[in-house]
Structure 1
Amino acid sequence: MVINDVRPWGGARSDVEVRGDRIAAVRPHSPGPATVEGRGRLLFPAFSDVHVHLDSTRIGLPFRPHTGGPGVVAMMTNDRENWRTAEVPLPERVAGTLERMIAHGTTRVRSYAQVDVDCELEKLDAVLAAREKFADQAEVQVMAFAQAGILREPGTLDVLDAAMRSGATVIGGIDPCTLDRDPKGHLDAVFGLAEKHQAEIDIHLHEPGHLGLFSTDLVIERVRALDMRGKVTMSHAYDLGSISESVSRRVIDDFAALDIAMTTVAPSAAGQLSLLDLVASGVRIGLGEDGQRDYWSPYGNCDLLDRTWQLAFTRGFRQDAHIELALAVATMGGASIMSHDVPRLAGVSDRPGLAVGDRADLVLVDGETPTSAVMDRGRDRTVVHDGVVVADGLSVVKR
């Protein structure tokens, strides 16, 4: 494949040659035949959505008023009361949402799948089916996630175990103190399942201030004691920066030393750890859209470029270098969480993913500069996965 007349990370006009699933050459642009016409568009690595709940999506369905109450339990109850009565079956909703994500440029996905005594493996099966349907268009990791807690409802741990045997590759935990109110028991269950199934861990953390720090320190202790470096991700954790500068520095240093990753959905919370400091210190950090217009929230539109704008906006970024960093987090930052063959971002100015030898997961977007692409979020896009065009003009290429 030859992709002609593109500007990698907004640089000089270039022609990119792809052999198999890898970039084979990047040369100055010259007239000649091409497989994909770049037309001067920007070239970025494809997006990596590493925090999305495909299992609860309402993308493509009629808009409905938000009916959830405050807090995780109230939201969970709202989801349970409504998800079975949606206008189309769950597998169709999940597959349609994943298809729309690919069409907008996301080729790496880490999705939660709710498993509990209410839905058992029904939501997991829908996500696994979508993963199989689009196996040639995107790489999808599936996380078994008991969003209602692991210890609150008898039988949940058994369902989680069954989910890991059924094809999930990541085990999820959530708010060890405030939800299950037994941080030791909760983390014993999560880390025990991870050891049993040789799986990675992702901890949803909404807990505030010192309580969130307490739960985080328990995770840090276990990662260190069990030598689970590079196998744990903290998601949300949006209040860990609220206590003091010295605490923030210590947490960031621990995350970097133990290779504990972080994912963010770009909230407007004031107490977040500094994205600039996290990247500068070598912490793996990725971006996700969270819910997709579901029973938890009306937000989400399957476009991670749109969420990249939100990340830059909520972090107060104005400098081009910082807005480009948001793009690096949304692309190769998330990729480095899904595969440790992908190195962490090397610093605030690192713009990886488009060098010879890199995986040919790419997105072409119209725009003047990387910053303008984030601001304008153009719709003239072509998406490449493993060296094959999988979407063009916001539609997946049918095969």
Structure 2
Amino acid sequence: MLITNVRPWGGDAVDLEVRQGRIVAVHPAGTAVVAADAAGGTVDGRGRIAVPAFTDVHVHLDSTRIGLPFREHTASPGVWNMMCNDRENWRDTPIPYRDVVAGTLERMIARGTTRVRSYAQIDVDCKLERFEAVMAAKEHFAHAADVEVMAFPQAGLLLEDGTIPLLEEALRSGATTIGGIDPCQLDRDPVRHLDIVFGLAEKYGVDVDIHLHEPGHLGVFSAELIFERTRALGMEGRVSLSHAYDLANVHPDVTARLMEQMAELDIAWATVAPASGGTQFDLARMTEAGIRVGLGEDGQRDYWSPYGNCDMLDRTWQLAFTHRLRKDRLIEHCAAIATIGGASIMDRTVQRLTSPDDRPGLAPGDRADIVLVDGETIASSVMDRGTDRTVIHNGRLVADKLAVLPNPAA
């Protein structure tokens, strides 16, 4: 394939030559010639900006109402109340639930996301039904996106009998990450909660991702227990903290100490760019410290929240906005987090960001996962969030004009 007349990271126009799923050469615009037998042909970039395709490292594909009529938000505040509201309503859809899940993933791919780490709620109410729906969507769109599925105990591990065997069944059935959630606030037994999570990770050889909504020093306490287990089990590079927004809202010395431990243990951070009235993690400092940072959309217009539209470019805008960033280089850094930053969490062979000015992912040798977007600069693309997009996954054209193309192997 040749991708002609594109501007990598908003730079000068070039032609990208792709073979066997990887970029093999970067030519001055208009100078490359596609081989007569090239299966991918030529993609006309029309002067658009090329960035690595988006990576959503924190999405609940199983918790979605994308494609369904808009509804009034009915949940009361708090994780348990939100979960109960979801539990009461998620089956009530006018089209089959599996189609809703698959349609959400399709919409994400159409807008430029080709790497996805999805939670799949597992509890005594839904058992494996939601997990199996996410796995079915993953299989259906395997030609267009890489999807990792996490076995996630949204209702906790200890509050309802029977959750742990269901998690084990999911891990035996293809889940590649085990989740945990608020060890102190929800299960109220952080030692047992984390012993179970890390025990399952060790038993099945999977990664760990902990939802941490806990405030202030309670969150710090849980984080330090997570760090202890990561170090003791030699799981450096295989643990992520999701949310954990209040770890930046304690004394600056405490936050600095936590960041040092995250860097030492290679613990990644996944944010969904929430609104916050307090202090936020400094994205540039996190990257400079060597911490892998990724972005996700969380739920998609679900029973927890009416927000979410499957568009990671939109969420990139939100990341810049909630962190009060105005300089172009820092807005571009948000785009790097939304693309290669998350990719380095899902795949540790992907080059991690080394500074807020680092713009990797489009050089010879890099995998050809690319989204073409309209805009004058990266910052303008983030601000305007245009819809003239073309999506390439593993060197194949998979979406154009906000529509996923048919699977040629189907």
TM-score with structure 1 setting the length: 0.99
Give the structure 2 partner of residue 88 of structure 1. 95
Aligned equivalents of 2:387 and 2:150: distance in 1?
Answer: 30
Residues 15 and 32 in structure 2, CA contact (< 8 A), matched pair in contact too: no
The question of 1:260 aligning with 2:267 is answered yes
Give the structure 2 partner of residue 164 of structure 1. 171
CA offset digits 1:297-344 (Å, max 9, x no partner): 100000000000000000011000000000000000000000000122
Give the structure 1 partner of residue 321 of structure 2. 313
Aligned equivalents of 2:142 and 2:297: distance in 1?
Answer: 21
The question of 1:343 aligning with 2:351 is answered yes
Secondary structure in 1 matching 2:80:
helix
Aligned equivalents of 1:381 and 1:33: distance in 2?
Answer: 23
Aligned equivalents of 1:298 and 1:232: distance in 2?
Answer: 29
Deviation of 1:271 (Å) = 3.2
Give the structure 1 partner of residue 214 of structure 2. 207
Give the structure 2 partner of residue 374 of structure 1. 382
* Runs of 4+ that moved beyond 6 A: none
Residues 237 and 272 in structure 1, CA contact (< 8 A), matched pair in contact too: no
Residues 122 and 151 in structure 2, CA contact (< 8 A), matched pair in contact too: yes
Secondary structure in 2 matching 1:240:
helix
* Compared CA separation, residues 311 and 275, structure 1 to 2 (3 A): same
Deviation of 1:354 (Å) = 0.4
Give the structure 2 partner of residue 390 of structure 1. 398
What one-letter code is carried by the residue in structure 1 that aligns with 2:46? Answer: R
Aligned equivalents of 1:30 and 1:77: distance in 2?
Answer: 57
Deviation of 1:31 (Å) = 5.6
Aligned equivalents of 2:255 and 2:352: distance in 1?
Answer: 20
CA offset digits 1:262-295 (Å, max 9, x no partner): 0000011223321111011110010000000001
Deviation of 1:86 (Å) = 1.4
Give the structure 1 partner of residue 7 of structure 2. 7
Secondary structure in 1 matching 2:299:
coil
Aligned equivalents of 1:223 and 1:194: distance in 2?
Answer: 11
Deviation of 1:90 (Å) = 1.3
Secondary structure in 2 matching 1:391:
strand
TM-score with structure 2 setting the length: 0.96
Secondary structure in 2 matching 1:142:
strand
CA offset digits 1:120-155 (Å, max 9, x no partner): 000000000000000010000000001010011011
Residues 176 and 183 in structure 1, CA contact (< 8 A), matched pair in contact too: yes
Secondary structure in 2 matching 1:85:
coil
Number of paired residues? 399
Equivalent of residue 296 in structure 1, options 298, 304, 309: 304
Deviation of 1:33 (Å) = 5.6
Deviation of 1:32 (Å) = 6.2
The question of 1:245 aligning with 2:252 is answered yes
Q: Note the residue ranges of structure 2 that are not aligned, 5 or more in a row.
A: 35-41
The question of 1:198 aligning with 2:205 is answered yes
CA offset digits 1:66-110 (Å, max 9, x no partner): 011100000000001001111112110010000000000000000
Give the structure 2 partner of residue 126 of structure 1. 133
Secondary structure in 2 matching 1:296:
coil
Residues 15 and 31 in structure 2, CA contact (< 8 A), matched pair in contact too: no
CA offset digits 1:17-41 (Å, max 9, x no partner): 0001100111111266660001000
Residues 124 and 163 in structure 1, CA contact (< 8 A), matched pair in contact too: yes
The question of 1:67 aligning with 2:92 is answered no
Secondary structure in 1 matching 2:306:
coil
Deviation of 1:236 (Å) = 0.1
Give the structure 2 partner of residue 109 of structure 1. 116
Residues 234 and 261 in structure 1, CA contact (< 8 A), matched pair in contact too: yes
Aligned equivalents of 1:250 and 1:345: distance in 2?
Answer: 21
Give the structure 2 partner of residue 273 of structure 1. 281
Q: Note the residue ranges of structure 1 that are not aligned, 5 or more in a row.
A: none
Give the structure 1 partner of residue 39 of structure 2. none
Aligned equivalents of 2:123 and 2:229: distance in 1?
Answer: 25
Structural mapping, 1:226-245, within 5 Å: 226-245=233-252
Secondary structure in 2 matching 1:55:
strand
Aligned equivalents of 1:273 and 1:249: distance in 2?
Answer: 10
* Compared CA separation, residues 369 and 30, structure 1 to 2 (3 A): same
Aligned equivalents of 1:304 and 1:167: distance in 2?
Answer: 26
Residues 53 and 112 in structure 2, CA contact (< 8 A), matched pair in contact too: yes
What one-letter code is carried by the residue in structure 1 that aligns with 2:10? Answer: G
Secondary structure in 2 matching 1:99:
helix
Aligned equivalents of 1:202 and 1:293: distance in 2?
Answer: 22
Structural mapping, 1:217-228, within 5 Å: 217-228=224-235
Aligned equivalents of 1:248 and 1:356: distance in 2?
Answer: 38
Secondary structure in 1 matching 2:171:
helix
Aligned equivalents of 1:378 and 1:135: distance in 2?
Answer: 26
What one-letter code is carried by the residue in structure 2 that aligns with 1:325? Answer: H
* Compared CA separation, residues 183 and 32, structure 1 to 2 (3 A): closer
Residues 252 and 281 in structure 1, CA contact (< 8 A), matched pair in contact too: yes
Residues 366 and 379 in structure 1, CA contact (< 8 A), matched pair in contact too: yes
CA offset digits 1:184-215 (Å, max 9, x no partner): 00001100100111000000000000000000
Equivalent of residue 323 in structure 1, options 324, 331, 334: 331
Aligned equivalents of 1:93 and 1:101: distance in 2?
Answer: 13
What one-letter code is carried by the residue in structure 1 that aligns with 2:23? Answer: I
Aligned equivalents of 2:156 and 2:247: distance in 1?
Answer: 21
